Chain A
Amino acid sequence: DIQMTQSPSSLSASVGDRVTFTCRASQGIRNDLVWFQQKPGKAPKRLIFAASTLQSGVPSRFSGSGSGTEFTLTISSVQPEDFATYYCLQHNSYPYTFGQGTNLEIK
């Protein structure tokens, strides 16, 4: 199985900060990676697919990059509604696997 490792596990930031999350795959997955945002008690929301394609309706302050084994999700200027947990998912091979998540907290 492909292991997905997210770092950091939690991150404290202030409104307006630029933040970057990392997701590493244990083997190459091309660009078969999705980023999700999840708020407490809610379903995940897809932000980015194909590693760098912004989902329609998602603010442009979110961006994704990477290919192969290393991927990043960047929020250029954190807004109050962005405090949540972020997950990556690889869908290159079965079983699909999620990272363990990064919790973005208010500083």
Chain B
Amino acid sequence: EVEVVESGGGVEQPGRSLRLSCKTSGFTFADYAISWVRQAPGKGLEWVGFIKSEAFGGTIEYAASVKGRFTVSRDDSNSIAYLQMNSLKTEDTAVYYCTSSLGVWGQGTMVIVSS
């Protein structure tokens, strides 16, 4: 069974850091791009960032709102992706979803940035 599970969310103060994990199973993780998408409370979906498979060069791209603060990475040997979030802002408060090539999604993990 294909599964994507995010973890690592929680409450953090502005300026601090959090690292989200995206653990997958049931498919060949290394073959797929991984995107992170977020949704602020009561708002629409926002694409955050993306890492291609190594076969496609492992290209990484970010939304302007997080570029320079967030880092996407992947560990193909363990089928896990990460979203390192530094210099957190209150506007980063959202549910963060991990998705494999936009087709398989996790249940999301909530991040609250508040003093």
Out of B44, B62, B103, B107, name the residue touching A100 (CB < 8 Å): B44
Contacting residues, chain A, for B102 (C-beta < 8 A) = 34, 46, 49, 89, 91
* CA gap between A46 and B103 in the complex, in Å: 6
- Whether A16 sits at the interface, judged by CB under 8 Å, is no
> B7-15, B18-26, B45-53, B78-86: which one contacts chain A?
B45-53
Contacting residues, chain B, for A91 (C-beta < 8 A) = 102
Contacting residues, chain B, for A100 (C-beta < 8 A) = 44
* CA gap between A34 and B97 in the complex, in Å: 17
Out of A49, A94, A98, name the residue touching B61 (CB < 8 Å): A94
> A23-31, A37-45, A66-74: which one contacts chain B?
A37-45
How many residues of A are counted as interface, with CB atoms below 8 angstroms from the partner's CB atoms? 21
Nearest opposing residue in chain A for B59, CB measure: A94
* CA gap between A87 and B37 in the complex, in Å: 13
| Best-surrounded residue of B47, B97, B106 (most CB of chain A within 10 A) | B47
* CA gap between A36 and B44 in the complex, in Å: 12
Contacting residues, chain A, for B106 (C-beta < 8 A) = 43
Out of A43, A46, A49, A101, name the residue touching B108 (CB < 8 Å): A43
- Whether B55 sits at the interface, judged by CB under 8 Å, is no
| Best-surrounded residue of A38, A43, A87, A99 (most CB of chain B within 10 A) | A43
* CA gap between A34 and B99 in the complex, in Å: 13
Out of A44, A46, A55, A95, name the residue touching B63 (CB < 8 Å): A95
* CA gap between A36 and B37 in the complex, in Å: 13
> In the complex, are the beta carbons of B45 and A38 less than 8 A apart?
yes
> In the complex, are the beta carbons of B47 and A97 less than 8 A apart?
yes
Give 29 A-B contacts (CB < 8 Å), ordered by A residue. A1-B64, A34-B102, A38-B45, A43-B97, A43-B106, A43-B107, A43-B108, A44-B37, A44-B97, A45-B105, A46-B103, A49-B102, A49-B103, A87-B44, A89-B45, A89-B47, A91-B102, A94-B50, A94-B61, A95-B62, A95-B63, A95-B64, A97-B47, A98-B44, A98-B45, A98-B46, A100-B44, A101-B44, A101-B45
